[in-house]
Chain A
């Protein structure tokens, strides 16, 4: 009797499980699976994009979003088990290169040429972000730019009306602010990456893009004199008390809050900070503004730094036609590009987007990037992931103990050499 009940229960469970697996396994031919790291307020905008795409093409986007930091691990696990979604968002540069070299992405040259994306994507971005080993793999969702974002009221209260363009002017600005009891620079290096923009700009503005590119590909060591020189400038800023205390204990939003609340004057951050501040009811050009990283060596080419998020198609794609159609739609559809880039506080890489849809501040970002000699990916997207881990921890150690920067660089070189 007892076992009859068991039998029934077991049979029912097996039946239930079987139907569950069948339900999970059945995907319609029109479905396109996608995974991305845009959560929170960006979800609803992404949802709108899916709706528009579905209506326009007859495909159905099946979304499985993952938190930004968890995404890095999640996609690795899915890659290892050959269960990548058809489409996923990824960071252009060394990270996409890593996945391309692992054979996990499908090239999209045919779609790129068929849909004439050469006439859609800005050439500088197409050249730097979409080509890997001579083939196209990515369409840019948007690009960001890292600049010195500041609180306008704090600056004007301190009697500063003009923002510096050179290093002497920048040091004078910091000294003035500090003299008035305001911490000049907020930095939240708890999650490590916010510190990288300092490293990037200091190297690019002193040693130049070639040395920096060498550092990123391993041909220049972390113990090279040019790198030490850049770090010593950074050390001088920390020693002078221009940075907030306990930077390693704060996130980038903590640092942004400090600037928003007037406890610090500025922070070197990507354009996504505008989206964050707008959500705090701050207004561009009224409450906040930005200036480009000041020139240190006038002979060095003008460089700008930022990340480009892109969409890629996995090698195990189930619905290639739908996946490529979505990539093409995302970058080409003007309504989508405007809605998306405005939501995430970024700039469209689509040349057909009318700049007048953006506010004056973003237009100055577009001009700044357009006038630069060199667009560089930020550190953790420019060097292979195993090396980037070494550098990111190095920045944190530097913020704890800047006096030991030469020792820190020597240890970083040892670890980086092993990782390359």
Chain B
């Protein structure tokens, strides 16, 4: 029986490992391999070009702007949903009337796919008849027709707002769960000691929410790293690359310019950045674990 169990464990584990190897490890190693070539994606023949693709990264104007956009994207995509989620959770935890309905409403967007969210926000931002401009026109009485997604100054920011709108609900629910685990006695002590609402949040609630914050930030980091779909739907990196992130730039170079070798080099850089962020994150996670057990 024992041997049989072990046998089946190996067999059943082999399947996911095989899938993981075929779909993650193998493509990853392939990217490293192709990053040293000038493969165009079609032609079976290609040459090894050494570090040329990586050298090209240094002079690529679009890569430089993509890296800045990626930094903006990651910082905003981590902070905005976290802060907004925390604010909403604190608000809803204070027993506002209709709290359950609001909880459901705020959580709903996370149930939608990024494609649906992207399309909804494309309509909101539409210059002529979009909701945002319609409201602005009604409020200001002007004939405001700014094309939010088509202008280089606002394209990335507009996508970040849409992204935050979707992700905030998830952060909110995790913070709400965290809030229920704070002992009532501590909050009563605050009342007895005459702490202000702000002192109560700053000194008691936020420190005790650390485990929930760790989870929220972890999910935000992971989600922002893989946040390609909503940007692809909403701007495709446009107009003229002004909202390109590294993932979008890599996609354009590989699949639109057919520079698969160079695209692979960008993906290697992206991989190393992701690896660094994840390492920093896990190192700090361990510290949090040590403090809070």
In the complex the two chains form, is B8's CB within 8 Å of A6's CB? yes
Residues 1 to 38 of chain A near chain B (Cβ within 8 Å)? 3, 6-7, 10
- CB-nearest residue of chain B relative to A411? B61
B44/A103 in contact, CB under 8 A: yes
> By the criterion CB–CB under 8 Å, are B239 and A6 in contact?
no
Interface residues of A in 373-414 (CB under 8 A from B): 385-386, 389, 393-394, 396-397, 400, 411, 414
Interface status of A99 (Cβ within 8 A of chain B): yes
| Chain B: minimal CB distance from A275 (Å) | 24
Q: In the complex the two chains form, what is the Cα distance from A6 to B127 in whole Å?
A: 57
Give Cα A102–Cα B38 distance, bound, in whole angstroms. 13
Cα distance A6–B252 in the bound complex, in angstroms? 45
**Residues 1-24 of B at the A interface (beta carbon under 8 Å):** 4-5, 8, 11-12
Q: When chains A and B are docked, how far (Å) is the Cα of A396 from the Cα of B147?
A: 14
B109 within 8 A of A: no
- Looking at B186-194, B197-205, B256-264, the stretch in contact with chain A turns out to be B256-264
Across the interface, do A397 and B259 meet the contact criterion of CB distance under 8 Å?
no
Which of B42, B128, B241, B255 has most A Cβ within 10 Å? B42
**A190 CA / B152 CA spacing, docked (Å):** 12
* A389 engages B43 (CB within 8 Å): no
* B12 lies within 8 A of A396 (CB): no
Q: Report chain A residues within 8 Å CB of B238.
A: 190, 192, 248, 393, 396
**Bound-complex Cα distance A348 to B186 (A):** 82
Contacting pair B42 A99 (CB below 8 A): yes
Residues in A with CB closer than 8 Å to B252 are 389
A252 → B minimal CB distance (Å):
14
A102-B257 Cα distance, complex, nearest whole Å: 14
Q: B41 at interface (Cβ–Cβ under 8 A)?
A: yes
Q: Give chain A residues whose Cβ lies under 8 Å from the Cβ of B128.
A: 246
In the bound complex, do residue B5 and residue A98 qualify as a contact, i.e. CB atoms below 8 Å apart? no
A411 — which chain B residues lie within 8 A by C-beta?
61
Residues of B within 8 A of A386 (CB): 257-259
Q: Which listed segment binds B: A56-64, A73-81, A207-215? A: A73-81
Which residues of the other chain, A, contact B151 by a CB distance below 8 angstroms?
A: 248, 400
Q: Contacts A248-B147, A396-B238 given; indicate if A10 touches B11 (C-beta within 8 A).
A: yes
Question: Which residues of chain A are within 8 angstroms of B61 by Cβ–Cβ distance?
Answer: 411, 414-415
Check if B258 sits within 8 Å of A385, measured CB to CB.
Answer: yes
The docked-state distance in angstroms from the alpha carbon of A46 to that of B11 is 47
Residues of A within 8 A of B41 (CB): 76, 79-80
Are A394's CB and B240's CB within 8 A? yes
Given A3-B5, A400-B152, are A76 and B255 neighbors across the interface (CB < 8 Å)?
Answer: yes
Kindly state the separation between the CA atoms of A6 and B15 in the bound complex, as whole angstroms: 14
CB-CB contacts below 8 Å: A149-195 with B: 190, 192
Inter-subunit contact B42/A104 (CB<8 Å): yes
Does A123 sit at the interface, judged by CB under 8 A? no
Closest CB in chain A relative to B202 CB, distance in Å: 44
Is B149 at the interface (CB under 8 A from chain A)?
A: yes
Closest B residue by C-beta to A254: B128
In the complex, number of A-B residue pairs with CB atoms less than 8 Å apart: 84
**Interfacial chain A residues near B225, Cβ < 8 Å:** none
Question: How many chain-B residues does the 8 Å CB contact rule pick out?
Answer: 34
A249–B257 touching, CB < 8 Å: no
The interface size bin for chain A is: 20 to 34
Q: Is A101 an interface residue (CB 8 A)?
A: yes
- B100-145 at interface with A (beta carbon < 8 Å): 126-128, 145
Tell me if A245 is interfacial: C-beta within 8 Å of chain B. Answer: yes
CB distance from B17 to the nearest CB of A (A): 15
Q: Is the CB of A72 within 8 A of B255?
A: yes
Q: Is there contact, CB below 8 Å, between B145 and A246?
A: yes
Tell me if B258 and A76 are in contact (CB < 8 A).
Answer: yes
B window 207-257: CB within 8 A of A? 238-241, 252, 255-257
Given contacts A76-B41, A103-B44, contact A246 B258 (CB under 8 A): no
A393, B8: Cβ atoms closer than 8 Å: no
Contact of B42 among A79, A248, A389 (CB under 8 A): A79
**Which B residues are CB-close (under 8 A) to A76?**
41-42, 255, 258
Is A419 among interface residues, defined by CB-CB distance under 8 A?
A: yes
Closest residue of chain A to B252 (Cβ to Cβ) is: A389
CB of A31, distance to nearest CB on chain B (Å): 24
Which residues of chain B come closer than 8 Å to A104, judged between CB atoms? Answer: 42-43
Q: Is B82 an interface residue (CB 8 A)?
A: no
Contact A73-B255, Cβ < 8 Å, known A396-B239, A397-B240, A400-B151: yes
Is there contact, CB below 8 Å, between B150 and A7?
Answer: no
Contact A7 B8 (CB under 8 A): yes
Does B37 sit at the interface, judged by CB under 8 A? Answer: no
B residues less than 8 Å from A80 (CB atoms): 41-42, 260
Q: Are A389 and B255 interface neighbours, CB within 8 A?
A: no
A385 to B240, CA, bound (A): 16
Bound CA–CA A72/B256 (angstroms): 8
Nearest Cβ distance between residue B229 and chain A, in whole angstroms? 14
Question: Once bound together, how far apart are the Cα atoms of A76 and B257, in whole Å?
Answer: 11
**Given A72-B256, A386-B257, also A249-B240 (CB < 8 A):** no
B40 at the interface (CB under 8 A from A): yes
For A98, A246, A414, the residue with the greatest tally of chain B CB atoms inside 10 Å of its CB is A246
B147 and A101: CB pair below 8 A?
Answer: no
Query: Given A249-B127, A249-B147, are A102 and B8 neighbors across the interface (CB < 8 Å)?
Result: no
Partner of B40, one of A10, A102, A400: A102
B4, A385: Cβ atoms closer than 8 Å: no
State the CA gap A396–B239 with chains docked (Å): 7
Please tell me if the beta carbons of A389 and B239 are within 8 angstroms of each other in the complex: no
Set of chain B residues within 8 Å of A79, measured between Cβ atoms: 41-42
Could you tell me if B4 and A393 are in contact, using CB atoms closer than 8 angstroms? Answer: no
Q: Would A396 and B258 count as touching, CB distance under 8 A?
A: no
- Which residues of A in the span 218-262 have a Cβ within 8 Å of any Cβ on B? 245-246, 248-249
28 contacts between A and B (CB under 8 A): A3-B5, A73-B256, A76-B258, A79-B42, A80-B260, A98-B42, A98-B258, A99-B42, A101-B43, A102-B42, A103-B43, A103-B44, A104-B42, A104-B43, A246-B150, A249-B149, A249-B150, A385-B257, A385-B258, A386-B259, A389-B256, A389-B257, A396-B240, A397-B239, A411-B61, A415-B62, A418-B56, A419-B259
Q: A190-B238, A245-B145, A389-B256 are in contact. List 5 more A-B contacts (CB 8 A).
A: A6-B8, A99-B42, A104-B42, A192-B238, A419-B257
